[in-house]
Chain A
Amino acid sequence: MNPASGEIRRVEGVPWWIVVGGLGALIAYPLAFTMPFHQHIVIMALLYGTLGTAWNILGGYTGQVSIGHGVYYGIGAYTAAYFYVNFGLSPWVSWPLALMIAFVAAFVIGLPTFRLRGHYFVLASVFIAEAAYIIISNWEMVGGAIGLEYPIHRAESPLDALWHLQFHKSKLPYYYGILTLFVASVFVSWRIRFRPLGYFLKAVSEEQDAARSLGVDIARYKMVALLISVLFTTLCGIFYAQYVMYVEPVSTMSLIISLEIAFIAIFGGIKTLWGPVLGAFIIIPVTELLRANFSGHIALDQSALAEGGIGAWVDYYMAGGGGNVDLLVYGLLIIIIARFQPNGVIGFFHRFD
């Protein structure tokens, strides 16, 4: 991204000055648009941009289509929430723990399932995500179906607020926090492709058998891709928990979250650097606006949620948590993109290919 070096004039097909300009615009945005809702939309787009980028490292570059990333997202959110709510432990302390749990989960899930291919891998990831969802919604220690709610901390000083990561009135710290994470994930996703690792991942995604016959340890590279992907997904989970200050199974671990994460990358275009970013910045503003304008009444039926399983989705919709019209549009967009432009929106810009 350094134009002075003269080495890189384009970042994956996008001229460097657009990249720098875009970043500048993102930095300046919350200062120009001070309405919380306007800021919220871009925060969500950045959050999903990061999630989509992380997913793309595994699902795109490595070709392992996972519909279970909600598990790692949930682990991040739940670990942060659990330690904060019960022990008053700041996420600054608990994040290594969250990452450790997520990495262990990734190993346990990845080792057996990476042997599967095609539809079997997809289905296995769906089932693992569903199983995790059922377990978490019946697990009393983490609040079961009701979840964990953050106690409100009245900060005495800005430093104190930073320690607790609670900035009630201002969205700015959240905004710049997620922006940093977003830039980091895009940077990793960009640089990874020029490293030997990137070539190995590509080899794994295109010709597993050929790669293996050349002595590439495909299981190892899949695992590395998964771990990088999990790293950012878990951090996003922690961010989400801090941002909404309320963690429950449906909005963190359900199948629909796992699907949304993958949709972002696929809608924008997988195997490309900018696809997931584009996807997030198209889909999220549309769905957030729809959600804000059309979502239903807020009435969480806790007893029905406690039933657990997928049946709790009903309540998710009823609560307007996932909205309704926005999901309608979500589904439609994905069908249309899969039907007319399987390469994602980015496929319309051929020079980016």
Chain B
Amino acid sequence: MFALVAMGLSLIYGIMDVVNFAHGEFLMIAMYASFFMWTYLGFDPLLSSPIIALCMFGFGVLIYRWLGRYLVGATLIPQVFATFGLMVFMQAGANFLWKADTRTLPENLSSGLFQFGGLFFNVAELVAAGGALATALLMFWFINRTETGLALQATAEDQQAARLLGIDTDRMFAIAWGLSAATVGIGGVLLSTYYVINPLVGVKWVLPAFVAVAIGGFGSVLGAFYGGIIIGLIQVGGGFFTSANYKTLFAYGLFLLIVLVRPHGLMGRK
């Protein structure tokens, strides 16, 4: 799960050099969308995930057109604070529209427990893990095997050169934001099947995801994928050995360690 959130984050950063602090709020929006699709339209999350991913793609492009575009090449402060502002705005907006109450998705296709060798698994979590893996594979395929994906990589490598080669970098940036929002959108839908939904859920997930991105190296999508898995394990392990309250502390500590010892992460480039 962290892997999916982290991948989207890394994509925007890698291509545009912009850290999107509102990424977690994209996740939150997708979770609400999944919730409303189920309660009002009766669409199971598994069914609605492609629709939501598509909507989130559009949303990402929209945000890029209105805001992200002006952050390319901007100095650190407007960059960081534009997305921080977006984060606060979306959080407060969700809180305003849907109240601070925590919601959970009622029974759905992926509810239930699954027994394997004396261990109980939550089906929803297994489905989510499978879905996350599938989405990740799809992402890799898109980035490495399609023309648009390669153009994205070229843009990430060198904007000017890409422009000279006739790549529409503005369009590439828009696609990067869209894809990033779409992956986190799917993440949100999958997450909504077993996790509570409230206006602040985004931060809860995205801060550790930042750690995942840092571990993998900013800009490396594959690195972010591994980083996400590492973070997931550390949080579970750390929470197991101490109190659950402190589990995110391990992730934060790890971040500091990583950036100080190996500033470009495990697989990052300068």
Contact = CB atoms under 8 A, between A and B. Distances in A.
B214 interface: yes
B74 A342 contact: yes
Given A120-B263, A314-B199, A325 B92 contact: yes
Pick from A115, A311, A339 the residue with the most CB of B within 10 Å.
A339
A330 B88 contact: yes
Contacts of A270: 77
A331 B88 contact: yes
Contact of A112 (B84, B199, B256): B256
Interface string A336-353: 001100100000000000
Given A310-B204, A328-B93, A124 B256 contact: yes
B89 A331 contact: yes
B34 to A, nearest CB: 19
B75 A327 contact: no
Given A65-B76, A131-B249, A138-B245, A259 B89 contact: no
Interface in B69-99: 70-71, 74-82, 84-93, 95-96
Q: Is the interface of A mostly helix, strand, loop or mixed?
A: helix
Given A65-B77, A116-B260, A131-B249, A335 B85 contact: yes
Interface residues of B, number: 51
Nearest to A330: B88
Contact of A328 (B80, B96, B102): B96
Nearest to B263: A120
Contacts of B87: 331
A163 B244 CA distance: 42
Given A325-B92, A328-B89, A130 B77 contact: no
A325 B79 CA distance: 24
Contacts of B90: 331
Nearest to A260: B88
A318 B95 CA distance: 9
Nearest to B257: A112
A310 B218 CA distance: 24
B62 interface: no
A119 B21 CA distance: 11
B257 to A, nearest CB: 10
Nearest to A112: B260
B245 A338 contact: no
A48 to B, nearest CB: 16
B95 to A, nearest CB: 5
A122 B67 CA distance: 20
Contacts of B81: 262-263, 266, 334, 338
B211 interface: yes
B173 interface: no
Contacts of A25: none
A335 B252 contact: no
A317 B77 CA distance: 27
A318 B82 contact: no
B77 A116 contact: no
B100 interface: yes
B100 A318 contact: yes
A311 B76 contact: no
A interface bracket (residues with beta carbon within 8 Å of B): 35 or more
A124 B80 CA distance: 13
B249 A313 contact: no
Q: Give the most central of B79, B84, B90: most A CB within 10 Å.
A: B84
Interface string B90-122: 111101100010100000000000000000000
Given A119-B19, A130-B252, A324 B95 contact: yes
Nearest to A334: B85
Nearest to A318: B100
A138 B102 contact: no
A259 B92 contact: no
A127 B256 contact: yes
A332 B90 CA distance: 9
A184 B90 CA distance: 36
B210 A123 contact: yes
A135 B248 CA distance: 11
A-B pairs, 10 with minimum CB distance: A331-B89, A334-B85, A331-B88, A338-B82, A327-B92, A342-B78, A328-B92, A335-B85, A127-B252, A338-B78
29 contacts: A116-B259, A119-B13, A119-B76, A122-B80, A123-B19, A123-B210, A123-B259, A124-B259, A128-B256, A130-B252, A131-B253, A134-B246, A135-B249, A263-B85, A266-B77, A310-B203, A313-B203, A317-B199, A327-B88, A327-B89, A331-B85, A331-B86, A331-B88, A331-B93, A334-B84, A334-B85, A335-B86, A339-B67, A339-B78
Interface of B: 13, 19, 66-67, 70-71, 74-82, 84-93, 95-96, 100, 102, 198-200, 203-204, 207, 210-211, 214, 218, 243, 245-246, 248-249, 252-253, 255-256, 259-260, 263
Given A120-B259, A123-B255, A334-B81, 13 more contacts: A115-B260, A118-B76, A124-B255, A134-B248, A266-B81, A270-B77, A314-B102, A327-B89, A330-B85, A334-B89, A335-B86, A339-B66, A339-B82
